[in-house]
Copies of this chain bind each other. A is one copy, B any other.
Amino acid sequence: MHVPRGERLTAQDIARKVGVHPSTVSRALNPATRHRLSEEVAARILQAAAEAGYVRNDLAASLRTRRSETIGVVLPDITNPVFPPILEGIEAVLAAEGYVAMVANGGADEERQRLVVERLLARQVDGLILATASLRDTIVELCLAAQAPIVLVNRSEPDADHRVSSVVSDDMRGMKLAVDHLVSLGHRRIGHIAGPQNLSTGKGRLEGFTAAMKAHGLSAPAVDVVVAPAYARDAGREAARRLLERQPDLTAVVAANDLLAIGLYDELAARGLSCPDDLSVVGHNDMPFVDLMSPPLTTVRIRHREMGEQAAGLLLRKVRGEAEGGLDVVLKPDLVVRASAGQPRQPGTRP
């Protein structure tokens, strides 16, 4: 067994080898202070440290200080393009403080999510940012039981239960922007492809859609809403197929996220229907590259980068013991008008 040595001993070893004072070695090994040394001296020390296997012994230091300056980030789906800009925001804040994010993909399987979180905790991350939290979430329980600081991003817990801080977009406002826009274009028969109802975004956007329709005196009958089982392109296409078969009179559809809207594009193309001439579409998120799609997607822009920045800031305050209790940061979204929503087709002109 390899016994981890203490940091002091290692620094002295390296100092002797390079011919500098041990405090210079400490300074070189700490990324926050390294810039105070000349590049040449820092490089010699880092080289010697690497040869001495110093990096592995960092672990021993973290056992003593219990601070790894590493934050775990758990995503529900690494292929969803909404997360990279959120991660950019997280990393910008962490990097400024000398922290590193380790991102793990929880996936949809609860057993796997649990394993992923256990591994991150076992690696002694100082805290976790969870984008996976469903409305009843064993992962949150696991983190709370392990006394790990956590912040939820793009998800929140039910109101009754505010032990955990979260950073979310205002889904009521987002759906109101989408519905108001379609109504102003003349639409009355508007459907909704909802997200998974065990996720706070899926539930909140459905509520927002229903409330916005009601505010215009429009009914949103249950038959005008289909629930997609996942935020994914293929799930969106399948949901769109069900919705269009059931309700061919719809002239517009609001999708609970952009991947679902893209699935709807796929289904329209398969049916030889045109967007927006046959059906107007509004997405949600403004994920990267939807400006280039055909047609460019009109969508609700959530403030991805700022969500990440806020989440990282909240978590660092918790890690440092500067914040207690839960709070929600709710960011206001905007509507980005592009070309996927236009005036409704004339009644009876459906091809």
Do A51 and B145 touch across chains, with their CB atoms under 8 A apart? yes
Most chain B beta carbons < 10 A, residue from A63, A70, A100, A294: A100
How many residues of A sit at the interface, in one of the four size bands? 35 or more
| Assembled-state Cα–Cα distance A262/B293 (Å) | 11
Per assembly, the copies of the chain total 2
Which of B103, B146, B288 touches A56 (beta carbons < 8 Å)? B146
A6 within 8 A of B: no
Which of B31, B70, B84, B296 touches A79 (beta carbons < 8 Å)? B84
Cβ–Cβ < 8 Å partners of A53 in chain B: 145-147
A→B interface (CB under 8 Å) = 1-2, 4, 31, 34, 46-47, 50-51, 53, 55-56, 58-59, 62-64, 66, 68-70, 72, 78-79, 81, 84-85, 87-88, 91, 95, 98, 100-105, 107, 111-112, 114-116, 118-125, 141-142, 145-147, 262, 265, 288-289, 292-296
Cβ–Cβ < 8 Å partners of A56 in chain B: 121-122, 124, 146
Do A105 and B115 touch across chains, with their CB atoms under 8 A apart? no
Cβ–Cβ < 8 Å partners of A288 in chain B: 79, 81
Do B59 and A119 touch across chains, with their CB atoms under 8 A apart? no
| Nearest B-chain residue to A80, judged by Cβ | B84
Do A85 and B91 touch across chains, with their CB atoms under 8 A apart? no
| Nearest B-chain residue to A265, judged by Cβ | B292
Cβ–Cβ < 8 Å partners of A123 in chain B: 59, 68, 70, 102, 123-125
Do A1 and B64 touch across chains, with their CB atoms under 8 A apart? yes
